[in-house]
């Protein structure tokens, strides 16, 4: 092959795999939004309904995992979506693995250095699986159940449902966790 042809094929290959990555990223973001959207809409409604946060807390406790499973049944069989955190509340279903931890530690470092772009999405390829991560930054509404100095009723309800809860003490702007979509080559 002539050099020009080789270079051209290399260029085409690179742009083809870049296009594949773009498509994967878009697909992952779609699943992330399905889960994030379902949880956020309902959380907002419940917080409006009852300002104490107790109704919303009961909703998260009773339904977050159920909603996550429901959203997963709507995805193609090669894909999943879930939430995790370094400091988890529900360690039964949301515990992070080593890759999750590495990505979240990087997000935390970026937040500290003030370099985390608002719409950051990180892709990690492992074997035939691509993971797509979206950081969840703590907002003021999250503090009612994830902040410091919780209302004693909220604190009690959390303690009885999650005896190993680690998900308090967050401040606005802290990394609360991530939503991660996993897409298998297909």
- Least CB distance from residue 83 to ligand HEC, whole Å? 4
Interaction of residue 35 with ligand HEC, rule CB under 6 A: no
Does residue 146 interact with ligand HEC by CB under 6 A?
Answer: yes
Give the residue from 175, 172, 169 showing the smallest Cα distance to 149: 169
Residue 176 in contact with ligand HEC, rule: CB under 6 A: yes
User: Tokens standing for 84?
Assistant: 């995790």
**Residue from 31, 71, 90, 174 in contact with ligand HEC (CB under 6 A):** 90
Question: Should residue 135 be labelled a site residue for ligand HEC when binding is judged by CB under 6 A?
Answer: no
146: which 2 tokens?
């994830």
Token readout for 15 is 């742009």
Contact call for residue 85 and ligand HEC (CB under 6 A): yes
CB 163 within 8 A of CB 4: no
Q: Do 79 and 31 touch, CB atoms closer than 8 A?
A: yes
For residue 123, what are its two tokens? 């892709």
Q: Give Cα separations from 53 to 12, 46, 59, 153, 170 (angstroms).
A: 54, 8, 10, 10, 17
**Smaller CB separation from ligand HEC, 23 or 86:** 86
For position 144 contacting ligand HEC by CB under 6 A, the verdict is yes
Fill in the per-residue mask, 55 to 74: x = in contact with ligand HEC (CB under 6 A), - = not in contact. -xx--xx--xx---------
Nearer to ligand HEC, 5 or 160 (CB): 160
State both tokens at 142.
């999250």
Q: Which of 29, 67, 123, 142 binds ligand HEC (CB under 6 A)?
A: 142
Least Cα distance to 73 among 44, 27, 129, 34 occurs for 34
Residues that bind ligand HEC (CB under 6 A): 53, 56-57, 60-61, 64-65, 83-85, 88-90, 93-94, 136, 138-139, 141-142, 144-146, 167, 176-177
């Amino acid at each position: 092959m002539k050099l020009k042809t080789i270079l051209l094929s290399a260029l085409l290959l690179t742009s083809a795999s870049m296009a594949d990555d773009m498509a994967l990223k878009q697909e992952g973001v779609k699943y992330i939004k399905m889960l994030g959207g379902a949880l956020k809409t309902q959380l907002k409604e419940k917080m409006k309904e009852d300002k104490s946060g107790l109704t919303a807390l009961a909703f998260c406790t009773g339904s977050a995992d159920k909603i996550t499973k429901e959203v997963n049944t709507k995805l193609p069989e090669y894909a999943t979506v879930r939430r995790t955190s370094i400091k988890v509340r529900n360690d039964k279903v949301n515990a992070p693995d080593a890759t999750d931890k590495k990505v979240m530690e990087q997000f935390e470092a970026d937040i500290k250095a003030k370099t985390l772009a608002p719409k950051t999405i990180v892709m990690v390829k492992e074997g035939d699986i691509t993971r797509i991560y979206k950081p969840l930054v703590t907002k003021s509404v999250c503090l009612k159940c994830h902040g410091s100095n919780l209302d004693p009723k909220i604190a009690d309800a959390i303690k009885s449902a999650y005896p190993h809860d680690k998900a308090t003490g967050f401040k606005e702007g802290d990394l609360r966790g991530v939503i991660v979509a996993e897409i298998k080559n297909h």
